[in-house]
Amino acid sequence: MAGHSHFKNMMHRKGAQDAKRARIFARLIREITVAARQGLPDPAANPRLRAGVAAARAANMTRDTIERAIKKAAGEGGTDNYQEVRYEGYGPAGVAVIVEALTDNRNRTAGEVRSAFAKNGGALGETNSVSFMFNRLGAIRYPAAASEDAMLEAAIDAGADNVESDADGHDITCAVEDFFAVRDALEAKFGAPEGARLEWRPTMSVALDEEKASGVLKLLDVLEDSDDVQNVYANFDISDAVMSRLSA
């Protein structure tokens, strides 16, 4: 289990969090709100909003809820003013961690994130203290419905940089500036993806034994429990054997 694959490698923790429907919806609504305020409140003309709406629909959010969030962001009764903030630091065993948040109170969020690191064997660092160990890229995930050859050909034609396929599906990556064009081209050919987002992926990983893995995963769980936190990325690797013992 590697810490860089957001779609596949967080499943043991995301399974529990997916039950927290209200929290998931709150995060999606925040993303829709920010996207609608940064651009036009029309998904067809706003790629980030279109991605947020697609993620909300994939989470089974109702159309009415999505439309209310967009209207609120456009000024119809909306007062929330969310800011995008990124935090960086080190967890147990020297694992590098990047935390992305949307918050209406930077002091509150910074305090929560700093406390999570301090209480779980880590330390919050300065901006860019660990991001140099990651690449920022677009990541699109499709199930294995399409063949490996068909997906590879379509992805390369659309401008993607790489495609990794296995029995579970296809992981397509591309440059940040090409993300929306690649996603839209693949969606036109194969339908809506299982997941599509901008991610941080590490250029190197820290191998963890059972004890260290337990500490790292506890820190990530605490961070993701924060209402303000949208995404957490880390550069760890856990073997299948260790993962099996942790899941037992």
The pLDDT tens digits of the residues spanning 198-236 come to: 999 999 999 999 999 999 999 999 999 898 999 999 999
- Indicate if 137 and 198 belong to the same structural domain: yes
- Indicate if 142 and 191 belong to the same structural domain: yes
What's the chain look like in SS3? CECCCCCCCCHHHHHHHCCCHHHHHHHHHHHHHHHHHHCCCCHHHCHHHHHHHHHHHHCCCCHHHHHHHHHHHCCCCCCCCCEEEEEEEECHHHCEEEEEEEECCHHHHHHHHHHHHHHCCCEECCCCCCHHHEEEEEEEEEECCCCHHHHHHHHHHHCCCEEEEECCEEEEEECHHHHHHHHHHHHHHHCCCCEEEEEEEECCCEEECHHHHHHHHHHHHHHHCCCCEEEEEECEEECHHHHHHHHC
Q: Which domain holds residue 151?
A: 133-202
Mean pLDDT of the chain: 88
What pLDDT sits at residue 44?
A: 87
The pLDDT-based confidence of 76 (bands split at 50, 70, 90) is low
- Indicate if 47 and 170 belong to the same structural domain: no
Q: How many domains does the chain have?
A: 3
Is 239 part of any domain? Answer: yes
What pLDDT sits at residue 4?
A: 45
- Indicate if 96 and 217 belong to the same structural domain: yes
The pLDDT-based confidence of 55 (bands split at 50, 70, 90) is confident
Look at residues 22, 50, 73 and tell me which one is the last residue of a structural domain. Answer: 73
CATH number of the domain that residue 94 is part of: 3.30.70.980
Is 57 part of any domain? Answer: yes
What pLDDT sits at residue 114?
A: 97
What pLDDT sits at residue 241?
A: 82
Is 2 part of any domain? Answer: no
CATH number of the domain that residue 69 is part of: 1.10.10.200
pTM of this structure = 0.84
